[in-house]
Amino acid sequence: MSPTDPVVPPFAGDCHAIILAGGSGTRLWPLSRNLLPKQLLVLGGTSTLLQQTVARVLEVFPPDHVWVVTNEEHVFEVRKQVAVLDKVLEGQVLAEPLGRNTLPAIMLGLDRVVEANPKALAAVFPSDHLVSDGGAWARDLARATELAAQKRFVTFGVRPDKPETGYGYIALGEDLGENAFAVRGFVEKPDFLTADRFLREGTHLWNSGMFLFSAKHFLTQVARCEPVLWNWWMGRDEAPLVQGYRDIPDISVDYGVVEKIDNIAVVKAGFEWDDLGSWEAMYRLGDKDADGNVVRGDVLAMNCANCLLISEGGKLAVSGLKDTIMVQTRDATLACPKDRVQTVRDVVAALKAQGSQLVESHTTVYRPWGNYTVLEEGPQYKIKRIQVTPGARLSSQMHHHRSEHWVVVDGTAEVEVDNEPRILVENQSVDIPKASQHRLANPGKVPLNIIEIQSGPYLEEDDIVRFDDVYGRVRK
């Protein structure tokens, strides 16, 4: 196959794509949070990392051969984002009840793949990586399908350009021709000296986390390597896989299967790749000014050099900084030397140990009906701005520990309190007593904005009892 050969979708044979869109993206805190991880953010350009991945996949795969696996908490936002690219994809999003790492997520996608065709090939792609040169990417996929048809498990390796200690490495074996090699082994996140030796010797590639394989052959290896997961998989005719999800092992595809099997091949990537796994990567890939700074948002930088400066929450004024990362949101600020960005994970772990909500969400939280922004909070009170999209409605619900007061800023609100409906317009308000069953909807053609004032001894989001919900969030 020559570099000029066209790749006509779909590939020869039947190949499906599984896009993994779970994960919390802690290394890009405070922009990335558990409820809005990096794959759902616009970190460059005009579309999110997820949308960039899906758009690239759709150039090769038909939409009914594309499956997106995400966390239950993200499913509505993921569906909204992929529907912009193709409405068919709304029905192709699968929700994990909770994160169980990459191997169970892949098997959740394979459930749909083998249902469509038990002899299909499957390609697995992370949703949060940057890939440029889509033509080379498609040609590399075509080469991988040839190898997968030979019952090889195929991964994609990237030529290192620096001694990176945050990536896994693939050791190259026999040359299989046409940019492909047998895999001699895997090395997980080596120390600097080892990574530097790999770079100088040219014997290893970065592991991109992308795979292609025969679904049937892969599942045979799961049965051999991970019998607990295999038993769970084999019970899917009696009960949906998600019902047993909480009881299965949390295990990666690399550790669970790939590192335990033979006959693995790697295709050396002809495309450029980056996993955007740190703020250093964001700096490296960003557009730099005359002083080497990457600046985004409302930033005043004086006498700064080689810095990444981002503000999404008010004016960020900095002076005299060099080789520094500073990222500001409405509720948090991160500052660290550029060569210490790997410690951001430790920062997130420390915040989590303190029980901080800064790990979970931004001040603006997206829901299937719209979003809310926390404007202010203190002991026994919280003030939110709630926006409801036209035609959307919240669940019918009640709270054990708080009362609420709603004021309509603009738009039309359809409100129901203890089975009494009413319509509210601009500057009108309603009280929601504690333990009252209530509901809010937007029957209008424009967004509805209200101010909600909560008061009570406990104001967290888990004090919601849902009775009815058009988005299927009522717990049985």
pLDDT tens-digit map of 297-332 = 999 999 999 999 999 988 999 999 999 999 999 999
pLDDT in tens, 326-357: 999 999 999 999 999 889 999 999 999 999 98
Q: Could you tell me if 375 and 439 lie in one domain?
A: yes
Question: In this predicted structure, what is the pLDDT of residue 331?
Answer: 92
Residue 61 pLDDT: 94
Same-domain pairing of 137 and 182: yes
Residue 387 included in any domain? yes
Domain boundary among 274, 299, 334: 274
pLDDT in tens, 126-166: 999 999 887 899 999 999 999 998 889 999 999 998 898 88
- Classify residue 103: in a domain, yes or no: yes
pLDDT for 1: 41
Residues 147, 259 share a domain: yes
pLDDT digit string, tens, across residues 378-418: 999 999 999 999 999 999 999 999 999 999 999 999 999 99
Q: How far is CA 340 from CA 285, 316, 325, 344, in A?
A: 17, 21, 9, 8
Instruction: Give the chain's domain count.
Output: 3
Residue 279 counted as domain residue: no
Q: Which amino acid is at 120?
A: A
CATH number at residue 398: 2.60.120.10
Percent of the chain whose predicted confidence (pLDDT) is above 70: 97
Say if 284 falls within a structural domain: no
Q: Tell whether 473 is covered by a domain.
A: no
Identify the CATH number of the domain in which residue 161 sits: 3.90.550.10
Confidence of residue 296 (pLDDT cuts 50, 70, 90): very high
Q: Which of 304, 322, 353 is the last residue of a domain?
A: 353
d(CA 317, CA 335): 13
- Neighbouring residues of 332: CB distance < 8 A, sequence distance ≥ 6: 29, 30, 358
Residue 109 near residue 94, CB atoms below 8 Å: yes
Would residue 7 count as lying in a domain?
no
Under the banding of pLDDT at 50, 70 and 90, the label for residue 65 is very high
Same domain, 303 and 343: yes
Instruction: Look up the domain containing 157 and give its range.
Output: 15-274
325 within domain boundaries: yes
Query: Which residue among 246, 274, 302 closes a domain?
Result: 274
Domain identity same for 373 and 331:
no
pLDDT in tens, 93-106: 999 988 889 999 99
pLDDT score at 226: 95
Residues 315 and 411 in one domain: no
114 with 247, same domain: the answer is: yes
332 lies in a domain? yes
> Are residues 135 and 172 both part of a single domain?
yes
User: With 90 as the cut, is the pLDDT of residue 205 above it?
Assistant: yes
Please give the model's pTM, rounded to 2 decimal places: 0.88
